[in-house]
Structure 1
């Protein structure tokens, strides 16, 4: 790996916390990133946008930002747009890619238009959450099925619905997080995730991680607090299967216009080993249980090296013209 002059970064803000439902996870991610950057000699400082105005980044002389925010106002293009206006380079995807990837329905539409595999779905907007509408959804998607908020992360508001009678309650639960609810075909099989680093033609996939959660329930508790969930990296998948997943993930990442880094979640259908894209995370977790650091480590990159590498790639959608 090429040596990086961390002093050239200047004063760095690690954006963490925020006001989304994923605030606790973001604080864990941010603290890990901050510690890693400081250990490498970076002039890094914690910055919580829910407690301080973003304009202070400019007045306090911050030269770039590491975005460790998750969910609304951190991963959806909002903070990215503010940083564009401030002219402060930031890690991860730009405004449009962040906004599209945050919306699981819009993401699916892009992928479907380009022929990439993703489970069948139906979107229920505000006003379509009544029993008559929700009860007919399994007629087209089958059972069991997955119900989740269209714009949320960390498995908040997600329910696996085994029968018709559970639909209304599941939709009402998801709607607590977002008025747009995504009902999705359930794919029975292996759950995997695959990170990507870089941009455009230079984007590369890291090793695939196969996830085994107790009873197949990879929820918030099993993501961040349980030691029972098993993460296999190397994945143990056939080599050709892993390569195909990496190919699909990189294509999915490029189609959304992502840059810097991201992580795609997929299911591999047991019946025919067909992978299906579920979503793209443009500001993945960086906690002790997080998956991008695990995959990077399998590729020979330490947590600290990963943080510095991502920070080195901080950029703007529209950098100011040079005089």
Structure 2
């Protein structure tokens, strides 16, 4: 069996994806798999044909690598792949669609408003019921790309301009002060969680990928019953979107122990500073055994 580790891509998260992909590639090699590394560009289909892979291990972050595009192409080519399918990938990548699915399933989310670029540029734009502070984020990016916390009209204007660099929709979300907890899901079980304590204002792109800028608390320092609720909601969010394989669910716990689900990452980072490998260690997985399990889940789906 020839495994193709597909990483890179052309999204804003390309560099992180390449690091994740290299780590997965090295692990599969050490496990004895016949493995090839494929840097995904617009010629991805041709590269896959040339390498004659039997299964794809997807380590793409953002863009068409995570929104169902590559998944759809692989299905047309008849090649099994790790992680979620076309629909779940597309839903999880779209923050507005994700929140609507969560609300349907009674999964708590912070109050939010979707702003279209065309509305923002017109006189029809208003904040309505949302008040400062707010979190402004693009509807389609990951790794906290284009995300800002704003506390004034001026900051809002700048943050929306930044968010609209990545698409024509932005999400305005009520800023909730509290602990940021990430729950790892593998197959149909919650592995546990990690509490992140960034030294910056929030868990930004810089805080995520710069050593020393974030403290990681494993397991989270929260009440045991709240932790169980987080794990239950994390798994429920994973299932509500129809996800498969390994995901990471981003959540918040406020001072009154109210829990909110932010989003589901269908292709979590697999670098040395990534959260999923840290979380998986709580359930006895080292990096190589986690990679092997993710691959085996993909092959099991094909049986």
State the TM-score, normalizing by the size of structure 2: 0.96
Aligned to 2:111: 120
Q: Confirm or deny that 1:275 pairs with 2:287.
A: no
Number of equivalent positions: 303
Q: Confirm or deny that 1:67 pairs with 2:67.
A: no
> Alpha-carbon deviation of 1:17?
0.3
Aligned to 2:12: 21
Q: How many angstroms apart in 1 are the aligned matches of 2:175 and 2:67? A: 25
Q: Confirm or deny that 1:56 pairs with 2:47.
A: yes
Aligned to 2:157: 168
Asked if the contact 2:200–2:213 (Cα under 8 Å) also holds between the matched residues in 1, the reply is no
> Alpha-carbon deviation of 1:53?
3.0
Q: Say which SS state the counterpart of residue 242 (structure 2) adopts.
A: coil
Match of 1:262 among 226, 230, 247: 247
Query: Could you give the per-residue CA deviations for residues 124-147 of structure 1, whole angstroms, max 9, x where no partner exists?
Result: 11302238555x32x412210000
Q: What pairs up with 1:275-314 in 2 under 5 angstroms?
A: 275-314=259-298
Q: What pairs up with 1:163-202 in 2 under 5 angstroms?
A: 163-198=152-187
Consecutive unaligned residues in structure 1, runs of 5 or more: 1-9
Asked if the contact 1:263–1:280 (Cα under 8 Å) also holds between the matched residues in 2, the reply is yes
Moved more, 159-168 or 142-151: 159-168
Asked if the contact 1:69–1:75 (Cα under 8 Å) also holds between the matched residues in 2, the reply is yes
> Alpha-carbon deviation of 1:302?
0.4
Q: Say which SS state the counterpart of residue 314 (structure 1) adopts.
A: helix
Asked if the contact 1:55–1:86 (Cα under 8 Å) also holds between the matched residues in 2, the reply is no
Q: How many angstroms apart in 1 are the aligned matches of 2:108 and 2:172? A: 16
Asked if the contact 1:196–1:262 (Cα under 8 Å) also holds between the matched residues in 2, the reply is yes
Q: What pairs up with 1:129-148 in 2 under 5 angstroms?
A: 129-130=120-121, 132=123, 136-137=126-127, 139-148=128-137
> Alpha-carbon deviation of 1:240?
0.8
In angstroms, what is the RMSD of aligned CA positions?
1.6
Query: Could you give the per-residue CA deviations for residues 100-152 of structure 1, whole angstroms, max 9, x where no partner exists?
Result: 00000000000111111001111111302238555x32x41221000010000
> Alpha-carbon deviation of 1:218?
1.1
Aligned to 1:233: 218
Match of 2:195 among 210, 226, 247: 210
Q: Say which SS state the counterpart of residue 273 (structure 1) adopts.
A: coil
Consecutive unaligned residues in structure 2, runs of 5 or more: none
Give the number of the structure whose residues are more often strand, by fraction.
2
Asked if the contact 1:194–1:206 (Cα under 8 Å) also holds between the matched residues in 2, the reply is yes
Q: How many angstroms apart in 1 are the aligned matches of 2:122 and 2:174? A: 19
Aligned to 1:97: 88
Q: Which runs of 4+ in 1 moved over 3 A?
A: 131-134
Match of 2:3 among 9, 12, 18: 12
State the TM-score, normalizing by the size of structure 1: 0.90
Q: How many angstroms apart in 1 are the aligned matches of 2:124 and 2:176? A: 23
Q: How many angstroms apart in 2 are the aligned matches of 1:300 and 1:228? A: 26
Query: Could you give the per-residue CA deviations for residues 58-117 of structure 1, whole angstroms, max 9, x where no partner exists?
Result: 343210010000000110000000000011100000000000000000000001111110
